[in-house]
Amino acid sequence: MKHYVNDVLKRLEPFDKACQYCGQGNSEDMNENFFVPVFKEQDRTNIVVYRSVKYKKILIGIPRCHSCLEIHNSAGNKAKLWAWVGAVVVFILCLLTGAPYVIIAGIFLLIFGGFFGSHLLEKQFVRDRGILTKLDGAKENETVQEFIIQGWSFTQPSA
Amino acid sequence: MEPPLPHQQLNEIRQDLSSGTFLYESAIQKLMQTGLDEESARNLLLNLVKERRKELFEQKLQKQDAEGAREVCFIITVMTAIVGPVFNVASALWYMVAMLIAGVAGYYGFKDKPVAGIIGSILLVIILPFTYQYYFSGRSSYIRIEFLIPLFLALVPAAVAAFLISLIFYPERKNQ
């Protein structure tokens, strides 16, 4: 048994303290652990004009030390800043051309660059510090592996 | 000196784990018959179970990723295919670009059957302008939901072609 159920917060909390991200530190506070959400589809309705999906969600705690928590948080903030500033600069350059197609392309670049860029940069910044990303660490957890094998998913089902 | 690792027995246990015929106590006995003490046998078995769990986990993740990619690539293909007919694009260059985008999306969406994915997606781009023209020619008014009809008319032959190609090129995966 690696986890126990916290009925109040509706999540699985780990017994283990050893940090899953650096393999050196220990988790000192339950709220500093990373809680990865996993989902399981229960019912889906797909009619041409109506789509709906019902699913279950549970949070699984991954032990994380204070140092790894700080690395994850700072990498996330830094990545968002860099990606959005970069995307806005590219968008302004597209605006300056005055060509409608370039401006439309600039809007797409702004949105995709901001969201995907921050996601990719965050992963890179975390790896540069020599620890696992939040999701990579979760993938090493045996409880998470069991849930995925039983048909749960890291991706939230959408209608 | 520790006894050598019983590779043959480990492979047999791996096969039992894969086929679902694994029995814990019989596996322990099998390993102990090779000269291992009980604790070493249990540790070896634990590692095998972990190895198998990781393998199943990665297979499941790959399958989920492929399903996600398939949905995204299908949406990209459909969006690319409807641009030409809906905006009355007459340029041959656009249709070449659209086929290229659809082909790439078809490849990534159906990586396990790439030829079927590429040809099915390109066919959708080629057929949709004709079904669109067939359905809407001579019409001055229509409701938006009707756009789905020519799309469906184009999807059917593209899907049938992709299915037949997958049967020809990938007969061993027809049950997947």
Q: Counting Cβ atoms within 10 Å, is residue A122 exposed (0-12), middle (13-18) or buried (19+)?
A: buried
Q: Between chains, do B53 and A148 touch, taking CB under 8 Å as contact?
A: no
Q: Do A49 and B54 touch (CB under 8 A)?
A: no
This complex has an ipTM of 0.76
Residue B133: inside a domain, yes or no?
yes
- The alpha carbons of chain B give a radius of gyration, in whole angstroms, of 26
The answer to whether A148 contacts B68, with C-beta atoms less than 8 Å apart, is no
Lowest mean pLDDT among A45-49, A116-120, B127-131: A45-49
CB A88 within 8 A of CB A108: no
Q: Which residues of A touch B57 (CB under 8 A)?
A: 139, 145, 148-149
Q: Which residues partner with A61 through β-bridges?
A: A35
Number of separate domains in chain B: 1
Locate tokens 């990619």: which residue?
Answer: B69
Q: A127 pLDDT exceeds 90?
A: yes
Give chain B positions within 8 Å (CB) of A146.
Answer: 53
Q: What is the pLDDT of residue B2?
A: 56
Number of H helices, E strands in chain A: 4, 4
Is B40 a domain residue?
no
Cα–Cα distance measured from residue B125 to residue B119, given in angstroms and rounded to the nearest whole number: 10
Alpha-carbon separation of residue B161 from A43, B115, B122, B150, B158 (angstroms): 31, 11, 11, 17, 5
Which of A139, A127, A58 has its CA nearest to residue B58?
A139
Mutate to test the interface with A, among B57, B64, B67 (most CBs of A within 10 A): B57
Amino acid at A99: A
Domain assignment present for B57: no
Q: Is residue B82 part of a domain?
A: yes
Selected residues 50-109 of chain B with any CB under 8 Å from a CB in chain A: 50, 53-54, 56-57, 60-61, 64, 68
Domain range holding B97?
65-173
Spatial distance between the Cα atoms of B73 and A75, rounded to a whole number of angstroms: 30
A120-124, B12-16, B67-71: range with highest mean pLDDT: A120-124
Q: CA angle B57-B59-B63, nearest 5°?
A: 115
**Which residues, numbered 45 to 64 in chain A, qualify as contacts with chain B under a Cβ-Cβ cut-off of 8 Å?**
48-49
pLDDT of B29 strictly over 60:
yes
What pLDDT, on a 0 to 100 scale, did the predictor assign at position B5?
65
Residue B48 has pLDDT above 70, yes or no: yes
Phi then psi for residue B59, to 5 deg, are -60, -45
Distance of alpha carbon B96 from its chain centroid, rounded? 26
Is the pLDDT score of B20 beyond 80? Answer: no
Find the residue in A nearest to B144 (Cα): A49
The answer to whether residue B149 sits within a structural domain is yes
Contact residues on chain B for A36, CB-CB shorter than 8 A: none
- Residue B98's pLDDT is 92
The pLDDT of residue A92: 94
A149/B56 touch (CB, cutoff 8 Å), yes or no: yes
Place of tokens 């027995």: B9
**Residue B105 falls inside a structural domain:** yes
Instruction: Name the token pair of A156.
Output: 């939230």
Helix pair B114-136, B148-169: axis angle to 10 deg: 150
A148 touches chain B (CB under 8 A): yes
Helix, strand, or coil (residue B118): helix
Residue B43 has pLDDT above 90, yes or no: no
Domain positions in chain A: 3-149
Which residues of chain B lie closer than 8 angstroms to A40, CB-CB? none
pLDDT digits (tens, 9 = 90+) for A63-75: 999 999 999 999 9
For chain A, percent of residues with pLDDT exceeding 70: 99
In a domain? residue B5: no
Average pLDDT score, chain A:
91
At residue A108, the pLDDT reads 84
B14 has a pLDDT exceeding 90: no
